[in-house]
């Protein structure tokens, strides 16, 4: 007797998480996690060794697929995702030439962004590729690697992201999903949903473009591996995707005019449309499925802020900090935070922005500060939504997921600050569930996530006599504008000091 199951696995910024899901019911039978850390260096580098991804998969898979109550699971399909867009470069034999560059939090390619923007024009790039060049774009980082490793780029190279690197190990296929590819601006043509061969030749002619496919399609099948005896041959594997889009699938936030909020290490926003969407401050992308388009945005911090608070207060238990913050009145008794502790991505697009705590008094406590951090991210979400709607998108519904929605406080604050309801599903185990669903969908086992993950709760916006969030939002916007020059000076001082220490 065997139990048919799907495996979903996601490589996140702080951990790799996998789920074992029953084919018939969608029940999550087992969850396995491995924690890891990224490295932050001078000149904006945020990186991770590529070998970690496969090492963690090999560690997780036997534990994940062990017998369930004495019954051996039969693995019917594997889906994978990962943080992104990352740029991981190898030689033609798949040997890494350097650690991988992470997504928009990695700001190493600022000189390359400026050079390419001067060469092609940001307005022209936006019109052609639905995104301007920012630290989120994969193309400038590939150029950075080519310029810093010229000897390696004299020979053929390959481009990977966490999901596609795992797929290569599992199946031998060299592929990338179209959603991830659409964030490799300017290497991908959003009109044809294929690679822009002219741009490949212009930016990195020696890099071999991977074969493209949709995230709900099968790209290949597993092969036996000596370093992973538990892996059987012939298991279907999907094309993969970026973690935020896998998590979007896990909560069924795939309808036109729907917005998805992912509360993770960073907070990510994905708005859906059936047409191409663009705005100079946001990222226009292709979706996980044919016909789906997105306008996406992302904060540089969110869960990383709450982790910072946990570390500086010495309180290991998030639930304690959350309970304390829940007792603080909305508005935090006059305390406000600009959550730009790692620069900011959308819509500010300012890697030299810095966190600011305004209104601090001797009467404020760590509970005030913790809640002010949450309110700061909520104000940033409101800013992103405002820009998305200015770009012509209509947002009728909002779905939320991620570690930040395991308690009610944070999503409730976001609904209060934005004035918009949010839907939370029963399960918010994350992108790994979306990966399992995508392979189930690819194999025709299920069409909708609803049977697997029904709606559990709706956060309705509330008003408070303690704070006027409309005025607070105006102050939030003004605070950044009036402190930008000072923040940039401080950022330069900090970078200079860090360089001197190195």
Asked whether residue 279 is assigned to any structural domain, the reply reads yes
Residue 269 shares a structural domain with residue 397 = yes
SS3 34: strand
Pick out the chain residues at pLDDT < 70: 1, 499-502
Residue 202 shares a structural domain with residue 257 = no
Q: Domain boundary at 239, 269, 297, which?
A: 239
Task: Give the integer Cα–Cα distance in Å for 399 and 260.
Answer: 5
Q: Domain boundary at 183, 213, 239, which?
A: 239
Asked whether residue 31 is assigned to any structural domain, the reply reads yes
Residue 304 shares a structural domain with residue 209 = no
CA angle 25, 446, 79 (to 5 degrees): 90
Exposure of 116 by Cβ count < 10 A (0-12 exposed, 13-18 middle, 19+ buried)? buried
Q: Say if CB 305 and CB 339 are below 8 A apart.
A: yes
What pLDDT does residue 356 have?
98
Q: Say if CB 335 and CB 368 are below 8 A apart.
A: yes
Q: Domain boundary at 239, 266, 299, which?
A: 239
What pLDDT does residue 500 have?
55
- Please give the residue range of the domain that contains residue 331: 252-501
Residue 132 shares a structural domain with residue 183 = yes
What pLDDT does residue 501 have?
54
Asked whether residue 299 is assigned to any structural domain, the reply reads yes
Residue 115 shares a structural domain with residue 212 = yes
Number of domains in the chain: 2
Task: Give the integer Cα–Cα distance in Å for 21 and 23.
Answer: 6
Asked whether residue 143 is assigned to any structural domain, the reply reads yes
Residue 259 shares a structural domain with residue 316 = yes
Residue 129 shares a structural domain with residue 90 = yes
What pLDDT does residue 499 have?
59
Residue 169 shares a structural domain with residue 314 = no
Mean pLDDT, the chain, whole residue set = 96
Residue 175 shares a structural domain with residue 222 = yes
Q: CA neighbours within 13 Å on the CB side: how many for 4?
A: 9
Residue 274 shares a structural domain with residue 222 = no
Task: Give the integer Cα–Cα distance in Å for 75 and 110.
Answer: 44
Residue 391 shares a structural domain with residue 463 = yes
* pTM (2 d.p.): 0.91
In the block, tokens 């473009």 appear at: 209
* CA nearest neighbour of 294 among 305, 283, 302: 283
Q: Which long-range contacts (CB under 8 A, 24 or more apart) does 254-259 make?
A: 254/287, 254/288, 254/289, 254/292, 255/397, 257/393, 257/394, 257/395, 257/396, 257/397, 258/395, 258/396, 258/397, 258/398, 258/399, 259/385, 259/388, 259/395, 259/397, 259/398, 259/399
Asked whether residue 25 is assigned to any structural domain, the reply reads yes
What pLDDT does residue 261 have?
97
What pLDDT does residue 264 have?
87
* pLDDT one-digit tens code per residue, 143-196: 999 999 999 999 999 999 999 999 999 999 999 999 999 999 999 999 999 999
Whole-number percent of the chain with pLDDT over 90: 95
Asked whether residue 227 is assigned to any structural domain, the reply reads yes
Asked whether residue 246 is assigned to any structural domain, the reply reads no
Asked whether residue 247 is assigned to any structural domain, the reply reads no
Residue 167 shares a structural domain with residue 139 = yes
* Residue 385: both structure tokens together: 């939504």
What pLDDT does residue 1 have?
56
CATH number, position 126: 3.30.420.40
Which spans in 207-264 are helix H?
A: 243-250
* Residue 333: both structure tokens together: 């008794």
């Amino acid at each position: 007797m065997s139990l048919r199951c799907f495996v979903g696995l996601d490589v996140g910024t702080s951990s790799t998480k996998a789920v074992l899901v029953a084919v018939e019911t969608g029940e999550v039978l087992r969850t396995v996690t491995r924690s890891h850390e990224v490295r932050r260096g001078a000149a904006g580098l945020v990186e991770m060794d590529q070998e970690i991804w496969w090492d963690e998969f090999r560690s997780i898979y036997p534990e994940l697929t062990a017998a369930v109550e004495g019954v051996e699971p039969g693995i019917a399909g594997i889906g994978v995702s990962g943080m992104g867009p990352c740029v991981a470069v190898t030689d033609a034999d798949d040997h890494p030439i350097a650690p991988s560059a992470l997504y928009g939090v990695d700001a190493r390619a600022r000189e390359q962004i400026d050079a390419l923007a001067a060469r092609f024009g940001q307005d022209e790039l936006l019109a052609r590729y639905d995104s301007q060049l920012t630290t989120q774009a994969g193309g400038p980082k590939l150029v950075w690697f080519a310029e810093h490793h010229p000897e390696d780029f004299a020979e053929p190279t390959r481009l990977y992201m966490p999901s596609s690197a795992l797929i290569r190990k599992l199946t031998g296929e060299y592929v990338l999903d179209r959603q991830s590819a659409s964030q490799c601006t300017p290497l991908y043509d959003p009109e044809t949903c294929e690679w822009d061969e002219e741009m490949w030749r212009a930016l990195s002619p020696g890099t071999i473009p991977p074969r493209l496919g949709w995230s709900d399609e099968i790209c290949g099948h597993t092969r036996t591996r000596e370093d992973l005896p538990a892996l059987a041959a012939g298991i279907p594997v999907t094309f993969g995707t970026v973690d935020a889009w896998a998590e979007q699938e896990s909560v069924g936030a795939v309808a036109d005019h729907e917005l998805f909020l992912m509360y993770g290490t960073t907070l990510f926003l994905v708005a859906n449309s059936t047409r191409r969407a663009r705005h100079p401050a946001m990222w226009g992308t292709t979706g996980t499925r044919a016909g789906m388009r997105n306008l996406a945005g992302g904060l540089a911090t969110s869960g990383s802020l709450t982790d910072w608070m946990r570390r500086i207060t010495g309180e290991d238990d998030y639930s304690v900090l959350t309970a304390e913050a829940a007792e603080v009145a909305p508005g935090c008794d006059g305390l406000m935070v600009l959550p730009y502790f790692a620069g900011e991505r959308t819509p500010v697009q300012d890697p030299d922005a810095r966190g600011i705590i305004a209104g601090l008094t001797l009467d404020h406590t760590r509970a005030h500060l913790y809640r002010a951090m949450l309110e700061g991210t909520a104000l940033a979400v409101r800013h992103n939504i405002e820009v998305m709607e200015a770009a012509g998108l209509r947002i009728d519904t909002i779905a939320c997921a991620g570690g930040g929605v395991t308690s009610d406080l944070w999503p409730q604050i976001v609904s209060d600050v934005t004035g918009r309801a949010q839907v939370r599903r029963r399960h918010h185990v994350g992108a790994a569930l979306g990966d399992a669903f995508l392979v189930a969908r690819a194999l025709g086992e299920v069409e909708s996530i609803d049977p697997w993950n029904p709606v559990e709760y709706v956060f309705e916006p509330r008003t408070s006599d303690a704070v006027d969030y409309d005025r607070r939002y105006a102050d939030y916007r003004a605070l950044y504008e009036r402190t930008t020059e000072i923040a940039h000076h401080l950022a330069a001082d900090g970078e200079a000091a860090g360089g001197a220490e190195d």
